[in-house]
Amino acid sequence: MPLSEQEQRALDEMERSLYQNDADFVSAVSPRKGKPNYRMMVVGVLVGVAGIIALLTGVIIQQPLVGVLGFVVMFVGVLLFVAPPRAGDADEMPEPSSASSGRSAKRGTSFMDTINQRWDRRQDGNS
């Protein structure tokens, strides 16, 4: 069932508020955006190959410490390879419309404060 215009505007306003107030959460849950960092991928592959070589060397010379260090280096290489691209988070965040941000700034209340006030009024009216 499609949303009404009022519901769509409220949803858009909540989304803009989320982008403004909790950018860390948004960047953590949003899908990857931006170009892959090929340089980090190449470095990750090279570090991973060096780790494999060190691991095999540790096994051949029967030195567990060298093998464990090789495994750690290999693991770091894999982490570098699969690391998400580091694009400017500020460039990807949508800018709030000037009308809504101006209205909110004039009153000194956020969207969530307004929603909470409306909820409180409804609860007081129904009691």
Q: Give 90-102 pLDDT, tens digit per residue.
A: 344 444 444 444 4
Q: What percentage of the chain reaches a pLDDT higher than 70? A: 69
Question: Long-range contacts of range 43-47, CB-CB < 8 Å, 24 or more positions apart?
Answer: 43/77, 43/80, 44/77, 44/78, 44/79, 44/80, 44/81, 44/82, 44/83, 45/77, 45/81, 46/77, 47/73, 47/74, 47/76, 47/77, 47/80
Q: What is the pLDDT of residues 22-43, one digit of tens each?
A: 766 666 666 656 677 788 889 9
* 6-12: average pLDDT: 85
pLDDT digits (tens, 9 = 90+) for 49-108: 999 999 999 999 999 999 999 999 999 999 988 887 665 533 444 444 444 444 444 555
Tokens of 62: 């029967």
pLDDT of residue 87: 55
Domain boundaries, the chain: 1-30, 31-86
Cα distances from 73 to residues 41, 55, 66, 70, 112, in angstroms, run 15, 9, 10, 5, 47
Average pLDDT of the residues in 112-125: 81
